[in-house]
Structure 1
Amino acid sequence: MPPVPSEEGAACRDAIFEKPPPALVGSLQVNKKLQSGQRIFTGQLKGPESFTVDDKGNIYTGTVDGKLWMISGDQLHFITRMGQDMPECGTPDYEPVCGRPHGVRMDQDGVDGLPFKFLNGLEISKKTLIYFTDSSSKWERRHHKYEVIETNHLGRLLAYDPVTRTGRTVLSGLYMANGIALSPFEDYILIAETSICRIIRYWVSGANAGKKEVFVDNLPGYPDNIRLSSTGLYRVGISTTRFPSFFSPFLDALGPYPFLKRFIAKVTPLSFYSIFLQKHGLFLEINNKGDIVASFHDPDGSVTWAVSDVFEHNGKVYLGNTELPFLVVLQ
C-alpha cells in the first residue's frame, strides 16, 4: 500500500472547506439533461478522458490502458500505445510501465516531452507556446486519491517553447493542478485546482500579467478539464460531486477529522473510497466572470458519471471520463 497522507496535508485540508457545498438552486438546479446522451464503444474504450480533433474531423482520445485511439465517423481505430504492451495494462499498479494519456491536443509540430510526476492538463497557444500542468510532485496519477485527501499544494503550471525546446515553471504551489483553458484572446489561463474544488485565473499578458486570482470557488464537485465552448462559455467536467446523499460527501465529511482521515488511509485500500462517491453525472457552464450559468446533470448516473472532459465537435458534445468503459455523446 502507498504511504499514508501526511499530517501537514491533513491539517491543510481542514482549513480549506470553510463553506458547505453550494445549494442546488438557480443554475445548479438538478435536472436530467445528461440522460439524453448515448453510450458508444462500450467495452472498447475504458476511461477516454480527453479529446482533440484533426483537420479531417477525426477525434483522438487516450485510455486508461495507455492507448491512443482515433474515432472516424462511427469507427474506432487503435493508433499507438504510450508504454509497454502487457496484459495488466489498465490497472493502477502498471500505469508506470503502460502509461496513461491525459490531456490530448493536436499540434502540427513535434514537441519533446519533459519527465514529470503527474502530467495532466494541456493547452497550445496560438503563439506556439505549450502550457501543461503537473498535478503533484509527490503522487502519481494512479494514487491521485491520496493527493486529493492530503490536499497538498505541490501542483504546477508549466510552459514549453518548442522553438527553443526549453520549459519553465509559470506558477507553482497549486492544489492538484488539473485541466486548463486559455481565454479567446489568450490574455489569461484558467486552472482547475481539483482537490479544493475551485478554478483560478492566471493572467499571462496585459495590465494584470503575473496576477493570480480565484475565478470560481466552492464548486459543487471536483473539477477536471476545462473547455471553451462555441458560445464563449467555459465547460467544466466534474469528476466527483459533493452533493448530499445517504453517504454524505466523503471528503467534505472527513474535513474536520484529520485523525480519522489518517486512520482510514492507513487501514484501507484506495478502492475503499469509491463506495462513498455518488454516481451523479455533472458538467457546468461558466461565463468569463466566473458565474455558473448552466449545469447539466445525470442525477442517478443512468447514462454517465465522473465527467472528465466536455468536448464539442460538429454539433455533438463528447463526455469523457477516467475509468468508465464507454464514451457518451450528446446531440
Structure 2
Amino acid sequence: MGQDLQECGSRTDYEPVCGRPHGVRLDSGGQLIVADSYFGLFSVDPQTGHKTLLLDSKTGADGVPFAFLNGLEISSQTGIIYFTDSSSRWGRRHVKLEVIETNALGRLLTFDPVSGRVGVLLDGLYMPNGIALSPDESFLLLAETSIGCILRYWLKGPKAGTKEVIMNNMPGYPDNIRLSDRGTFLVGLTTTRFRKLMPPFLDLIGPYPAVKRFLAKVVPLSWYNMLLPRYGLVLELDGEGEVLGSLHDPTGSLTWAVSDVFSHQGRLYLGSTDLPFLPVLEDWI
C-alpha cells in the first residue's frame, strides 16, 4: 500500500515504506477493504488494483495514531468497518516484541466510510488481532493474541457496549477469527503455548518485567523462532466459546503458524505467517 519498490517483500525492514496488508474483506459493493498495518484503511478495486485511502494511520483516533492495524470486519447491515490496532508502541515488523512485553496498548475501533467518523469501542487490550461478527451481528469475537484469550463484545441488546471473556488460557496464541459457512467461528493459532512438558515461555517470564525488557533489547528476533514448535492448530468455536472441534498437525507436515482459516463449499483454506503457499483441506466437515 506504500511505495512500489523492488525491495518490497524481501525483508521486514522495508515494511514501513512498502506497507503490509493485514485484514482484508469484501464490502457490499465488491471492493476490497484492506487494513494496512502501517498506512491505514484502503479501498481496493479487485479488477484494476486502484486503491483509495479511507483512513490514514497518522490521523488515528482520539489523538492517537495507529501503529499496527491488524484485524478487520465489515457489517453487512450498516457498512460499518470494525478493525483492531494491535499496539501503539510496536509496528508489525516488531510483533514478537509486542508479544514478549505483553502490553495492554491495543484498541478495537470502528470507521463509517460514509461519514468518515472513527470511534473507539475498547482500549487497553492485549494485542487485539482478528475479529469476526456473529451471524446476526449482535456481537463480535476478538482475539487477544499475547495473552491467549478471546473476548465477546456486544453490539446490540441489553449488553451492548460491554465485553466478556469467553475463552482464556488457550492452548496457543490466536490470530484471525472467521465465521464459517455453517455459522461457527474458526480460529487459527499461530503457535502452541505448550511444548511437551515444558510450560509456556511467555508464562515463565511474565512475572519478571526486567527479564522481558532485557530479552526485547538484546535477543535477535530470529532467535525466538527456535522456541516455537511447528504445530498446526485450528479451533472451531460457538458464540459462547465452547470448542466444537479442532484440527491438529503435530509435525507441521501440512501447515503450521496458522494465521487465518476460511471455509468455502466444504473446503478449508489455511493461511500461515511462515509458509509461502496456501494449504487447502478437502472435505473438512
From 87, 103, 107, the counterpart of 1:152: 103
Alpha carbons 2:106, 2:123 under 8 Å: kept: yes
SS in 1 for 2:263: strand
Alpha carbons 1:245, 1:278 under 8 Å: kept: no
In the alignment, the residues of structure 2 paired with residue 87 and residue 226 of structure 1 have an alpha-carbon distance, to the nearest angstrom, of: 31
From 71, 75, 87, the counterpart of 2:7: 87
Give the TM-score normalised by structure 2.
Answer: 0.83
In the alignment, the residues of structure 1 paired with residue 121 and residue 239 of structure 2 have an alpha-carbon distance, to the nearest angstrom, of: 22
After superposition, the Cα gap between the structure-2 partners of 1:280 and 1:100, relative to the gap in structure 1 and judged at 3 Å, is same
From 107, 121, 124, the counterpart of 2:74: 124
Unaligned 5+ segments in structure 1 are 1-80
Q: What is the Cα deviation at residue 230 of structure 1?
A: 1.8
Residue number in structure 2 paired with 1:52 = none
Moved more, 97-106 or 239-248: 239-248
From 18, 23, 26, the counterpart of 1:103: 23
In the alignment, the residues of structure 2 paired with residue 104 and residue 142 of structure 1 have an alpha-carbon distance, to the nearest angstrom, of: 19
In the alignment, the residues of structure 1 paired with residue 115 and residue 127 of structure 2 have an alpha-carbon distance, to the nearest angstrom, of: 28
Alpha carbons 1:250, 1:277 under 8 Å: kept: no
Q: Percent identity at matched positions?
A: 59
Alpha carbons 1:197, 1:222 under 8 Å: kept: yes
Residue number in structure 1 paired with 2:175 = 224
Alpha carbons 1:182, 1:188 under 8 Å: kept: yes
Residue number in structure 2 paired with 1:175 = 126
Give the TM-score normalised by structure 1.
Answer: 0.72
Instruction: Specify which structure has the higher proportion of strand.
Output: 2
In the alignment, the residues of structure 2 paired with residue 260 and residue 211 of structure 1 have an alpha-carbon distance, to the nearest angstrom, of: 34
Residue number in structure 1 paired with 2:55 = 113
SS in 2 for 1:320: strand
Residue number in structure 2 paired with 1:43 = none
Q: What is the Cα deviation at residue 246 of structure 1?
A: 7.3
1:244 aligns with 2:164: no
After superposition, the Cα gap between the structure-2 partners of 1:314 and 1:82, relative to the gap in structure 1 and judged at 3 Å, is farther
Residue number in structure 2 paired with 1:33 = none
Deviations 1:138-157 (A, max 9, x none): 10000011111111111111
1:289 aligns with 2:245: no
1:22-101 → structure 2 map (5 Å cutoff)? 82-87=2-7, 89-101=9-21
Tell me which amino acid in the other structure corresponds to 1:311. F
Alpha carbons 2:181, 2:264 under 8 Å: kept: no
SS in 2 for 1:288: coil
After superposition, the Cα gap between the structure-2 partners of 1:125 and 1:88, relative to the gap in structure 1 and judged at 3 Å, is closer
Tell me which amino acid in the other structure corresponds to 2:268. V
Question: Which structure has the higher relative contact order (CA within 8 Å, separation 6+)?
Answer: 1
In the alignment, the residues of structure 1 paired with residue 229 and residue 10 of structure 2 have an alpha-carbon distance, to the nearest angstrom, of: 23
Residue number in structure 2 paired with 1:200 = 151
Moved more, 287-296 or 82-91: 82-91
Unaligned 5+ segments in structure 2 are 32-42, 44-52, 58-65
After superposition, the Cα gap between the structure-2 partners of 1:232 and 1:88, relative to the gap in structure 1 and judged at 3 Å, is closer
Deviations 1:259-286 (A, max 9, x none): 3333332321111111111111001011
Residue number in structure 2 paired with 1:209 = 160
Residue number in structure 2 paired with 1:24 = none
Tell me which amino acid in the other structure corresponds to 1:205. K
Deviations 1:82-128 (A, max 9, x none): 53222253311110011111111112265713312111000000211
Tell me which amino acid in the other structure corresponds to 1:113. L
Tell me which amino acid in the other structure corresponds to 1:144. V
Alpha carbons 1:249, 1:277 under 8 Å: kept: no
Tell me which amino acid in the other structure corresponds to 1:104. V
In the alignment, the residues of structure 1 paired with residue 219 and residue 278 of structure 2 have an alpha-carbon distance, to the nearest angstrom, of: 30
Deviations 1:5-63 (A, max 9, x none): xxxxxxxxxxxxxxxxxxxxxxxxxxxxxxxxxxxxxxxxxxxxxxxxxxxxxxxxxxx
